[in-house]
Amino acid sequence: MSILAELQRRFGDAVVETHDHRGDPTAVVARDALLAVLAHCRDDAALAFDVLMDLTAVDYLKFPGREDGPRFEVVYHLYSLAHNHRLRLKVRIDEDDPNVPSAVALWPIANWLEREVWDMFGVRFEGHPDLRRLLMYEEFVGHPLRKDYPINRRQPLIGPAS
């Protein structure tokens, strides 16, 4: 059975949408079920996604046709060393409640990747032990990869707020 069909069978309505564009199996899951799906993907013997290859986000603020929908998508790329297959999981979140449960307990690498997503997109991860900025400095204002952050905006490079 394909990975997507298996996820749909097991999690039912929690799997909001699936597609297979260009051969990348992708599933959009509900936020409440995210940790359960991730844990299942990691621990189930038939899936065995033991590597969290990548965790990032996309800001859909200016995407044609999606301006009014949920603004952010947090994207998880999973890989299984045992079965040599991949899966992309996505969770959609609104701008006024940008919170996602943290996956640090499942994969230690999620610590830094979630810090980067918080830094760049302003998405918070509940349960993260140490949600600091990763690439920018603490005094930086805003989240640079959001679509409404102008590319030419300059900020003073360093110095605590006086």
Partner 1 sequence: MAATTRREFMLGEGSGTGSGPQNLHVGVGPAHPAMHGIIRIKAELDGEVIVGADVEIGYLHRAFEKDCEVGGYNNAIPFTDRLNYVSPLINNFGYASAVEKLLGIDVTERCKYIGASAMELGAFTVFLYMIKAREFLWELVEDVTGARLTISYGRVGGVKADLPAGFAEKTLRAFKQTREVLDEVHRLLTGNRIFLDRMVGIGVLSRDETVGYAITGPLLRAVGVSYDVRRAQPYYVYDRLEFEIPTQQDGDNYARYLVRMAEMEQSMRITEQALATIPGGPINVDFAGRPIDPSAYIDQGKQGKTEGLLLVPITLSPNLEGQQRAAHRRVNVADKRVVLPPKETAYGSIEGLMNHFMLIMEGYGIQPPPGEAYFPVEGANGELGFYVVSDGSDRPYRVRCRPPCLPPMAALHRMITGEMVADMIPTFGSVNMIGGELDR
Q: Which listed residue (137, 139, 142, 148) binds partner 1 by CB under 8 A? A: 137
Number of residues near partner 1 (by CB under 8 A): 36
Distance CA 12, CA 141 (A): 40
Which of 36, 86, 95, 124 touches partner 1 (CB under 8 A)?
86
Applying CB under 8 A, among 70, 77, 95, 124 the residue interacting with partner 1 is 77
Identified binder of partner 1 from the candidate list 6, 75, 95, 124, rule CB under 8 A:
75
According to DSSP, the β-strands at 124-126 and 99-101 are parallel
For residue 136, which phi and psi values (nearest 5 degrees)?
-85, 170
Cα–Cα distance between 134 and 139 in angstroms, integer?
12
Cα–Cα distance for residue pair 107/91, rounded to 1 Å: 17
Give CA separation, 137 vs 80, 128, 155, in Å. Answer: 34, 19, 11
| Nearest distance in Å: CB 97, partner 1 | 22
Pick the binder of partner 1 from 6, 40, 109, 124 (CB under 8 A). 109
- Residue closer to partner 1 (CB basis): 44 or 112: 112
Tell me how far apart the alpha carbons of residues 136 and 107 are, in angstroms, rounded to a whole number.
23
Binding residues vs partner 1 (CB under 8 A): 21-22, 24, 26, 50-54, 56, 58-59, 63-64, 75, 77, 81, 84, 86, 88, 107-109, 111-113, 120, 133-137, 144-145, 149, 151
